């Protein structure tokens, strides 16, 4: 009817808006799929995806190819695949099974694991996609599967249901068009947030009515930011379309849950993979640990060794072959085919050598390292000392790849609020115009209605002050975003309040606000609720005052303040509360100086202060403000910027009322933790958004700064006086002079303590330092100078930091010369950037939601747990993994080097020294379990000692156990052992008879002899390195040796029908039946282990590290009689157990060092279990151990 007339108008307007803003990135949604009034067809219906969520990676069909592709993208897997293929194609010394089997095993296990995970994801996806949703269809509620939802559908969501996709709220069961939502599954904040319906649509709250809504929504294309949304709704109600702004307060996100609201109607705008939740799913970037990096470096070295070995052998082979009599003697002629392929022969020879030596880089190392990390991470989770009873939470490991990195941390960046402190706010006092009020009844969380108890420190306030005071209290009651939550339903509010029952409590995203509102309650002003845009306050006289809430100028971290505009009995007030620095410049009257003095005093005491100010607005002024705000809110682009500008214009000409102080107590043992970290050589930086004074006070309280710490300030105050340049240079001079002084008397520890420097820097100065200057080189200079200063300070406090600046600082340190390992710890959303940036990110399960925890690599319940995490777990993990890596390379050098040497004695013919079964199983079963177990449970020093003596952490700093000298030592040791083993066996076999019946041994016996010595040497070497013996260790170490013997007996004991060669038949038995073989095995093992033992003893006595000194104090090295004869050794051992204090007096035989913890009686004292120890003792020890398990994290 009217639309005919309206048509062109709308068209014009819409053309206008399209032309005006011209943004491509927008979408238009027709609510209920109803065509807009004619004329608007100018919009082309966009195609939107359906609401199917796909988080799975594979489908049934592409699983195998895709998974294989992904797995072989890993360099190691690819390398092994190549080796395997080479073995298949060319004639190689070892059968393809030897490398194919382990590779196949690894690939299969990984594929099964990934497949299972993907299957779970499929299941979860299906469950989500198929759950039914109520959709309003032609005025009726229809059930639909979630995945069939389309953009533009109107859905009905009932209480406690989860939103199936991103929705715009149209109306709710509540009259005011609001609904409460908890986003616990999105960001972990369990508080209820209020969302609003657009004024025009909130009345349509039955399905019939909703169906009549005629509107289009324009909004931006999906963006991952959870808290940003810009859109506009055009409602064609009667005649002309009404445009209303849509913001994040209208947007209900998928994954959130409806609470305290019976039902809502909402329209679908983003579906499926376009929802904000799905867009936020992106996985975190992989962090690689320093150990992994050095491991990769070693791998490259070994690859080079491998290639050069193969090259040398190939070259020598051709030299050797140049003599035809050697190449092809009469007894060993080539086939025709072999003779012909002379050209490519060289290359295949090279490949064959590669294959022969490829075991030097074993598949199993990757598997073992992965398993070690995966299983090892459980120790953190199981740790009972990291269990927090208050929260009922354990530590959580999100990434097990970084375990060992915990032992390498050099810089700790910590947040203050919620991390160092408890973030449990308590209202301490307030100050109105210089008068200080302290609620005397400190009963946190306990509400006593009508309790007007307060102490007036300053007596007799005048009437004007009285008025100010009341205004101040009201301001605090009004200026917040706190919600009231009742146990009862919504209707129960009145009931509860009227009966004076305190069943309600406050919920807010900011604990400060709760503390303030609760403080006000104790001072007599109770905030009741927000209803229909009216805020209700119960004042001291038990009267309900009503204020109409006109606008909320929300808090943000840039402005650091928030305001509300309320109307009370005709007058319009703007109440503003915020940080002193953001309020004072905007104040035009009020007792600024007195308040400022009080604020500063409070700040020094470590209290969090907020200032409160107000401004009364005349109706005209309000109108102006209203316009301003509306315009900003309606803007589709740059709305935030415009809003900020508008806020800036509005929040001015304030009148100061007073200030509040809220205490945030230090977390328990925070100081102790920081002190330990300091002693461990870790530099602790505090990065906080707080005021400098507050932060500094906390730092003193937490012993980050000591009494004698000389504080260097690099703050705006100072830079105002001098130029930044001068300050920086002056500071660096100071620090460097001190540094020079330090070197002069390095030995005096006291002087080191005296000249401790602490640096305080604030955000503004920092950004000046960091700013990429126009002067180019000069600014780089600033950065370097700043770094230099920081590196020489033991503690740095950065205050007034924006979240991004925190990350910037971490990045700066990360990129500095030494590339130190950084750790960031925090609890709030503002720490996320820093947590993601640092090498290791730790989240604290605090009160500010779970965002930090979700983004962290590890999460712990309290700050104090950091100490154990780093000093104990980090230390252990590092020791374990470094030993694991080095040992793995060592044992494979031992394994392969004899093979290399053998080539010189078999005409470079690639003849393997060991049997195929030995080649395959060496890394898989003969030697893998002991090292895996070692790398899981080794504790070279008692846990308590590690905790008590943080200095030990310095011993492993800077990747000290994985540096090149250590690596070379291990490699040389491996080569030495290999030479001893090979040439020992060589000289024994050379021209002598081994047996008592004169029969001779062949090449396989030779290989078996070498292999036997090898397995025993390598296992004993590990036993020598083990300090922490449990029955499992004994079981695994001796068990794997026994397994080797049993396997060999079995392998040689039967004619295996499936093999077409029987080379190992009875070889092992024959070998064991000969006396010299036994003698030589013992001799060779001794000779191989001797240098390592000697090196250890000499190093230990002459140049002990701190760790070793402590070990020495605690434990004794018991010289055990030889391992030559186990039976003899056992009696010796028993003897030495009884001797309480055997000296290290007889080191000339082989020693097994074992450790007895004598200082800790509650610790299990365990005696070394012998290889064949009686089983009852085994089981008893086992019980002890499993009992002590959780506590000692065995």
Partner 1 sequence: IDYTGVSSDSPCYNCAKNFTWNTTEPCVCTVNFTLLQPNVFMYYGLSNFYQNHRRYVKSRDDRQLNGDLSALTDPSKECEPYRKSGDVSIAPCGAIANSLFNDTLVLYYVDSNNSKIEVPLVKKGIAWWTDKHVKFRNPAGNSNLTLAFQDTAKPVNWAKPVYELDPSDPDNNGFINEDFIVWMRTAALPTFRKLYRIIQKKSGTTPTLPNGNYMLNITYNYPVLSFDGRKRMILSTISWMGGKNPFLGIAYITVGSICFFLGVVLLIIHHKYDNRNTSADIPS
Annotated binding site for Mg(2+): which residue ranges?
A: 415, 417, 827, 831
User: Which of 461, 1142, 1147, 1182 touches partner 1 by CB under 8 A?
Assistant: 1147
Nearer to partner 1, 343 or 1055 (CB): 1055
**Both tokens assigned to 736:** 């460097």
- Compute the distance between CA of residue 519 and CA of residue 503 in angstroms, rounded to an integer: 17
Give the number of residues in contact with partner 1, rule: CB under 8 A.
Answer: 74
Task: Extract the runs of DSSP E, i.e. beta strands, from 702-749.
Answer: 710-714
Token code pair at residue 1145? 């007096």
Site string for partner 1, 70-109 (x = CB under 8 A): -----------------------x----------------
- Which residues carry a binding-site annotation? 415-417, 513, 555, 577, 608, 688-690, 800, 806, 827, 830-831
**Contact call for residue 1189 and partner 1 (CB under 8 A):** no
Check if the beta carbon of residue 847 is closer than 8 Å to that of residue 440: no
Q: Across-strand partners of 411?
A: 683, 822
The residue assigned the tokens 């060589």 is: 986
CB of 998 to partner 1, least distance (A): 4
Q: Specify whether 415 is catalytic.
A: yes
Q: How far is the CB of 1001 from partner 1 (least distance, A)?
A: 7
Shortest Å, Cβ 110 to partner 1: 34
Q: Which is nearer to partner 1, 96 or 434 (CB)?
A: 96
**Helices (runs of H) and strands (runs of E) counted in the chain:** 43, 35
Closest CA to 920 of 76, 88, 97, 90: 97
Stretch that binds partner 1, among 180-188, 322-330, 564-572, 760-768 (CB under 8 A): 322-330
447/450 Cα distance (integer angstroms): 9
Q: How many CB atoms lie within 10 A of CB 857?
A: 26
The reply on whether position 1035 binds partner 1 by CB under 8 A is no
Q: Is 434 in the site for partner 1 (CB under 8 A)?
A: no
Q: Which of 238, 283, 325, 499 binds partner 1 (CB under 8 A)?
A: 325
Q: How far apart are CA 921 and CA 916, in angstroms?
A: 9
Comparing CA positions, the residue from 597, 557, 554, 551 lying closest to residue 574 is 551
Cα dihedral angle (180, 183, 189, 195), rounded to 10 degrees?
A: -30
**Residue 752 within binding range of partner 1, rule CB under 8 A:** no
Q: Rounded distance, CA 1056 to CA 1069, Å?
A: 16
Question: Coil, helix or strand for 907?
Answer: coil
Q: Which stretch binds partner 1 (CB under 8 A): 145-153, 219-227, 357-365, 900-908?
A: 900-908
In the complex, the smallest distance separating the C-beta of residue 1127 from partner 1, rounded to whole angstroms, is 20
Residue 736 CA to residue 744 CA, distance in Å, equals 13
Determine contact, residues 695/606, Cβ cutoff 8 Å. no
N- to C-terminal Cα separation, the chain: 82
Q: Is 1141 in the site for partner 1 (CB under 8 A)?
A: no
Q: Which of the residues 415, 664, 857, 1092 is marked catalytic?
A: 415
For residue 845, which of 378, 286, 389, 514 has the smallest C-alpha distance? Answer: 389
Question: Of 3 and 1101, which CB lies nearer to partner 1 in the complex structure?
Answer: 1101
> What are the two backbone dihedrals, phi and then psi, of residue 315, each rounded to the nearest 5 degrees?
-60, -50
Contact region for partner 1 (CB under 8 A) — 78-86, 930-938, 1063-1071, 1184-1192?
1063-1071
Residue number, 998 or 1161, with CB nearest to partner 1: 998
The pairing of strands 710-714 and 757-762 is parallel
Binding site membership for ATP: which residues? 415-417, 513, 555, 577, 608, 688-690, 800, 806, 830-831
Sorted by sequence, the CB contacts under 8 Å of residue 248 that are 6+ apart come out as 227, 228, 229
Residue span binding partner 1 (CB under 8 A) among the ranges 243-251, 598-606, 923-931, 997-1005: 997-1005
- 340 touches partner 1 (CB under 8 A): no
Q: Verify binding: residue 1006, partner 1, rule CB under 8 A.
A: yes
Among 15, 288, 494, 1063, binds partner 1 (CB under 8 A): 1063
Q: Which of 96, 115, 492, 907 binds partner 1 (CB under 8 A)?
A: 907
Instruction: Please answer whether residues 29 and 267 qualify as being in contact, where contact means their C-beta atoms are separated by less than 8 angstroms.
Output: yes
CA distance 756 to 750: 10
Whose Cβ is closer to partner 1: residue 597's or residue 1079's? 1079
If binding is defined by CB under 8 A, does position 909 make contact with partner 1? yes
Decide whether 238 or 1141 has the Cβ nearer to partner 1. Answer: 1141
Closest of 946, 956, 942 to residue 1194, by C-alpha: 942
Give whichever of 183 and 903 is closer to partner 1, judged by the CB atom: 903
Task: Work out whether 1131 is an interface residue with partner 1 (CB under 8 A).
Answer: no
At its nearest, how many Å lie between partner 1 and the CB of residue 1111? Answer: 12
Round to whole Å and give the CA distance between 150 and 518. Answer: 45
Q: Which of 836, 832, 842, 839 is nearest to 862 (CA)?
A: 842
Among 60, 61, 330, 747, binds partner 1 (CB under 8 A): 330
Out of 594, 767, 916, 1149, which residue is the one contacting partner 1 (CB under 8 A)? Answer: 1149
Listed in sequence order, the residues at least 6 apart from 1150 whose beta carbon sits closer than 8 Å to its beta carbon are 1020, 1086, 1089, 1090, 1093, 1120, 1122, 1123, 1124
Residue 686 CB, nearest approach to partner 1 (Å): 31
Continuous H helices in 90-223: 96-130, 184-187, 207-211
Of 869, 871, 861, 863, give the one whose Cα is nearest residue 416.
863
Q: Which is nearer to partner 1, 746 or 991 (CB)?
A: 991
Q: Which two tokens stand for residue 344?
A: 């490519």
**Alpha carbon of residue 285 to chain centroid:** 11
- Sign, CA dihedral 615-620-621-624, equals positive
CB of 948 to partner 1, least distance (A): 13
Per-residue binder mask for partner 1 (CB under 8 A), 927-966, x = binder: ----------------------------------------
Is residue 318 at the binding interface for partner 1, with CB under 8 A as the rule?
no
Among 332, 554, 589, 1131, binds partner 1 (CB under 8 A): 332
Contacts with partner 1 in 1089-1128 (CB under 8 A)?
A: 1090, 1094, 1097-1098, 1101-1102, 1109, 1112-1113
- Nearer to partner 1 among residue 349 and residue 486 (C-beta): 349
Q: Does 681 bind partner 1 (CB under 8 A)?
A: no
- Tokens 């080796």 -> residue: 83
Q: What one-character DSSP code corresponds to residue 870?
A: I
Among 62, 308, 333, 589, binds partner 1 (CB under 8 A): 333
Compute the distance between CA of residue 1115 and CA of residue 1099 in angstroms, rounded to an integer.
17
The SS3 assignment for 575 reads strand
Of 770 and 1090, the one with the shorter C-beta distance to partner 1 is 1090
Among 285, 459, 1145, 1176, binds partner 1 (CB under 8 A): 1145
Would you say the C-alpha torsion 395, 399, 400, 405 has a positive or negative sign? negative
Q: Which of the 8 DSSP states describes residue 40?
A: G
Check if the beta carbon of residue 809 is closer than 8 Å to that of residue 798: yes
Does 1000 bind partner 1 (CB under 8 A)? Our answer is: yes
Cβ distance to partner 1 smaller for residue 727 or 981: 981
CB of residue 761 vs partner 1: minimum separation in angstroms?
37
Selected from 286, 322, 743, 997, the binder of partner 1 by CB under 8 A is 997
Site for partner 1, residues 1064 to 1093, rule: CB under 8 A:
1065-1066, 1069-1070, 1074-1076, 1079-1080, 1083, 1086-1087, 1090
752 or 907, CB closer to partner 1? Answer: 907
In the complex, minimum distance from the CB of residue 814 to partner 1, in angstroms, rounded to a whole number: 36
> What positions carry a catalytic annotation?
415
């Amino acid at each position: 009817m009217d639309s005919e007339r309206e048509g062109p108008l709308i068209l014009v307007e819409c053309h206008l808006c399209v032309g005006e803003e011209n943004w491509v990135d927008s979408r238009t949604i027709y609510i209920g799929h109803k065509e807009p009034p004619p004329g608007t067809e100018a919009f082309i219906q966009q195609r939107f995806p359906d609401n199917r969520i796909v988080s799975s990676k594979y489908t049934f069909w592409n699983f195998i190819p895709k998974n294989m592709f992904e797995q072989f993208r890993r360099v190691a897997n690819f390398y092994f695949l190549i080796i395997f293929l080479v073995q298949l194609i060319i004639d190689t010394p070892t059968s393809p099974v030897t490398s194919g089997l382990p590779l196949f095993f690894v690939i299969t296990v990984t594929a099964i694991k990934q497949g299972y995970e993907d299957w779970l994801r499929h299941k979860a996806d299906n469950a989500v996609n198929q759950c039914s949703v109520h959709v309003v269809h032609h005025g009726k509620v229809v059930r639909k599967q979630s995945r069939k939802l389309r953009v533009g559908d109107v859905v009905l969501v009932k209480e406690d249901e989860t939103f199936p996709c991103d929705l715009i709220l149209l109306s709710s069961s509540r009259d005011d068009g609001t609904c409460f939502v908890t986003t616990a599954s999105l960001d972990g904040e369990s508080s209820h947030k209020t969302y609003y319906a657009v004024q025009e649509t909130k009345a349509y709250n039955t399905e019939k009515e909703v169906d009549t809504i005629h509107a289009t929504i324009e909004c931006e294309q999906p963006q991952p930011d959870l808290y940003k949304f810009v859109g506009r709704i055009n409602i064609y109600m009667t005649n002309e379309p009404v445009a209303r702004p849509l913001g994040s307060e209208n947007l209900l996100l998928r994954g959130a849950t409806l609470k305290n609201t019976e039902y809502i109607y909402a329209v679908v705008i983003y579906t499926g993979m376009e929802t904000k939740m799905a867009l936020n799913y992106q996985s975190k970037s992989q962090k690689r640990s320093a150990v992994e990096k050095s491991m990769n470096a070693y791998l490259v070295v070994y690859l080079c060794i491998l290639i050069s070995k193969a090259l040398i052998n190939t070259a020598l082979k051709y030299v050797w072959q140049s003599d035809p009599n050697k190449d092809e003697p009469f007894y060993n002629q080539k086939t025709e085919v072999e003779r012909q392929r002379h050209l490519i022969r060289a290359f295949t020879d090279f490949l064959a050598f590669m294959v022969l030596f490829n075991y030097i880089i074993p598949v199993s190392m990757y598997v073992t390292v992965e398993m070690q990390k995966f299983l090892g991470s459980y120790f953190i989770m199981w740790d009972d000392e990291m269990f927090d009873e208050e929260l009922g939470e354990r530590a959580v490991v999100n990434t097990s790849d970084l375990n060992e990195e915990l032992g390498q941390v050099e810089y700790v960046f910590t947040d203050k609020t919620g991390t160092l402190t408890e973030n449990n706010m308590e209202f301490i006092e307030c100050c109105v115009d210089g008068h200080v009020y302290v609620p005397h009844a400190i009963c946190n969380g306990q509400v006593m209605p009508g309790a007007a108890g307060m102490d007036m420190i300053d007596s007799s306030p005048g009437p004007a002050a009285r008025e100010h005071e009341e205004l101040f209290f009201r301001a605090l009651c009004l200026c917040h975003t706190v919600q009231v939550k009742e146990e009862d339903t919504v209707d129960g509010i009145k009931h509860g309040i009227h009966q004076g029952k305190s069943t309600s409590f406050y919920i807010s995203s900011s604990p400060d606000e709760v503390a303030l509102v609760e403080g006000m309650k104790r001072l007599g002003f109770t905030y009741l609720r927000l209803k229909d845009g009216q805020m209700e306050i119960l004042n001291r006289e038990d009267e309900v005052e009503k204020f109409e809430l006109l606008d909320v100028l929300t808090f943000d971290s840039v402005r650091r303040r928030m305001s509300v505009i309320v109307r009370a009995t005709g007058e319009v007030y703007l109440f503003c509360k915020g940080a002193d620095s953001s309020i004072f410049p905007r104040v035009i009257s009020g007792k600024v100086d007195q308040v400022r003095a009080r604020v500063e005093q409070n700040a020094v005491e470590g209290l969090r202060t907020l200032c409160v100010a107000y401004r009364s607005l005349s109706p005209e002024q309000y109108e102006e403000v209203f316009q301003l705000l509306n315009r900003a809110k309606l803007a589709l682009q740059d709305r935030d910027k415009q809003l900020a500008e508008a806020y800036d214009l509005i929040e001015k000409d304030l009148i100061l009322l007073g200030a509040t102080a809220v205490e945030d107590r230090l977390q328990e043992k925070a100081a102790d933790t920081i002190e330990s970290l300091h002693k461990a050589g870790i530099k602790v930086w505090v990065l906080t958004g707080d005021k400098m004074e507050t932060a500094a006070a906390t730092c003193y309280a937490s012993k980050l700064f000591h009494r004698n710490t000389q504080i260097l300030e690099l703050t705006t105050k100072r830079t105002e006086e001098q130029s930044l340049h001068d300050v920086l240079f002056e500071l660096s001079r100071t620090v460097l002079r001190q540094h020079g002084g330090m070197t002069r008397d390095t030995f005096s520890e006291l002087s080191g303590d005296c000249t401790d420097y602490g640096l305080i820097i604030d955000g503004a100065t920092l950004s000046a330092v960091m700013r990429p200057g126009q002067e180019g080189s000069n600014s780089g200079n600033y950065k370097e100078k700043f770094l230099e200063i920081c590196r020489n300070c033991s503690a740095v406090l950065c205050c007034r930091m924006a979240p991004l600046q925190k990350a910037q600082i971490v990045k700066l340190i990360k990129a500095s010369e030494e590339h130190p390992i950084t750790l960031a710890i925090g609890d709030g959303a503002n720490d996320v950037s820093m947590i993601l940036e640092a090498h290791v990110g730790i989240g604290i399960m605090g009160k500010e939601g779970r965002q930090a925890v979700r983004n962290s690599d590890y999460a712990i319940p309290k700050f104090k747990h950091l100490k154990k995490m780093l000093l104990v777990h980090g230390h252990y993990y590092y020791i374990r993994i470094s030993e694991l890596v080095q040992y793995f390379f060592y044992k494979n050098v031992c394994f392969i080097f004899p093979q290399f040497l053998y080539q010189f004695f078999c005409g470079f013919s690639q003849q393997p020294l060991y049997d195929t079964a030995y080649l395959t199983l060496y890394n898989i079963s003969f030697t893998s379990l002991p090292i895996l177990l070692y790398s899981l449970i080794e504790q070279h020093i008692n846990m308590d000692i590690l905790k008590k003596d943080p200095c030990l952490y310095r011993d492993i700093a800077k990747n000290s156990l994985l540096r090149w000298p250590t690596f070379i030592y291990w490699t040389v040791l491996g080569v030495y052992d290999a030479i001893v083993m090979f040439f020992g066996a060589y000289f024994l076999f050379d021209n002598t008879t081994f047996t008592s019946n004169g029969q001779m041994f062949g090449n396989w016996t030779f290989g078996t002899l070498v292999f036997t010595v090898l397995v025993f040497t390598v296992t004993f070497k590990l036993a020598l390195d083990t300090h922490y013996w449990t029955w499992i260790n004994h079981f695994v170490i001796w068990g794997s040796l026994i397994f080797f013997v049993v396997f060999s007996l079995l392998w040689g004991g039967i004619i295996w029908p499936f093999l077409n060669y029987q080379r190992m038949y009875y070889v092992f038995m024959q070998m064991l039946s000969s006396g010299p073989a036994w003698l030589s095995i013992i001799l060779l093992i001794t000779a191989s282990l001797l240098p390592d033992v000697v090196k250890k003893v000499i190093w230990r006595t002459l140049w002990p590290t701190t760790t070793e000194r402590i070990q020495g104090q605690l434990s004794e090295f018991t010289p055990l009689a030889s391992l030559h004869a186990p039976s003899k050794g056992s009696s010796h051992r028993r003897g030495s157990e009884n001797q309480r204090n055997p000296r290290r007096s007889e080191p000339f035989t082989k020693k097994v060092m074992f450790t007895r913890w004598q200082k800790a009686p509650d610790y299990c004292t365990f005696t070394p279990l012998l290889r064949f120890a009686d089983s009852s003792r085994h089981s008893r020890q086992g019980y002890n151990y499993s009992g002590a398990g959780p506590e000692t994290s065995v």
